[in-house]
Amino acid sequence: MPSLPKLILASGSPRRAEILTSVGWAFTKDSPDIDETEFAGELPEDYVRRLAREKAEAVAQKYAGALVLGADTTVVIDHQIIGKPVDLADAKRMLKMLSGNWHEVLTGVALVRVPGLKSQVPSPKTVVGLQRTRVKFAEMSAEEIEFLAENGEPLDKAGAYAVQAQAALFIESIEGDYWNVVGLPVNLVYRLIQDRFSDG
């Protein structure tokens, strides 16, 4: 039987929770409050890995012995991080950038276990991974961009779209892990746990 140890999900994302639920993974949620400001000159890959680790570490301090999962997803086009839009006008600006173009979805994932009081392990155990997926949007008209911004609830989504919702009408191709685009590369999480935490 595959081992699916109970997780503490260091995220408030309903999509990440839905993915874990859909595969039958037991978890509880505890959303951290961390500063998500980019560092000057920070590469997108380093940014998502750092935030995933910081989220997991912040929550792990409260749950000695538990396995904590942190994740951070961002959209990258032309080496530029496209985060969550601040308002609908910003969402439309992002969708116009994505229209007709390929972009990358990057997710950093971090698994952290802080030893319990009776643990023989002297220090915390942390594993960080990265998943990369390429996505191609069709050319969208101004009316289609307006539709997607108004109906796709873009304000809490990196890149202002949800692949599993209205944006599916305009996505021509996906290269890589679909679940990464939704918000959590659950296969990567499973493999990291099997490789690094299967000893309990």
Q: What is the pLDDT of residues 136-186, one digit of tens each?
A: 999 999 999 999 999 888 888 889 999 998 999 999 999 999 999 999 999
What are φ and ψ of residue 60, in 5° steps? -60, -25
Q: What CATH topology corresponds to 7-196?
A: Maf protein (3.90.950)
Residue among 35, 46, 72, 195 flagged as catalytic: 72
pLDDT in tens, 73-85: 999 998 899 988 9
Q: Are strands 171-175 and 125-137 parallel, antiparallel or unpaired?
A: antiparallel
pLDDT, position 123: 62
List Cα–Cα distances, 52 to 72, 82, 119, in angstroms: 5, 17, 25
Distance, in Å, from the CA atom of 41 to the CA atom of 52, rounded to the nearest integer, reads 18
72 is known as an active-site residue = yes
For the chain, domain boundaries: 7-196
Specify whether the CB–CB gap between 95 and 152 falls below 8 A.
Answer: no
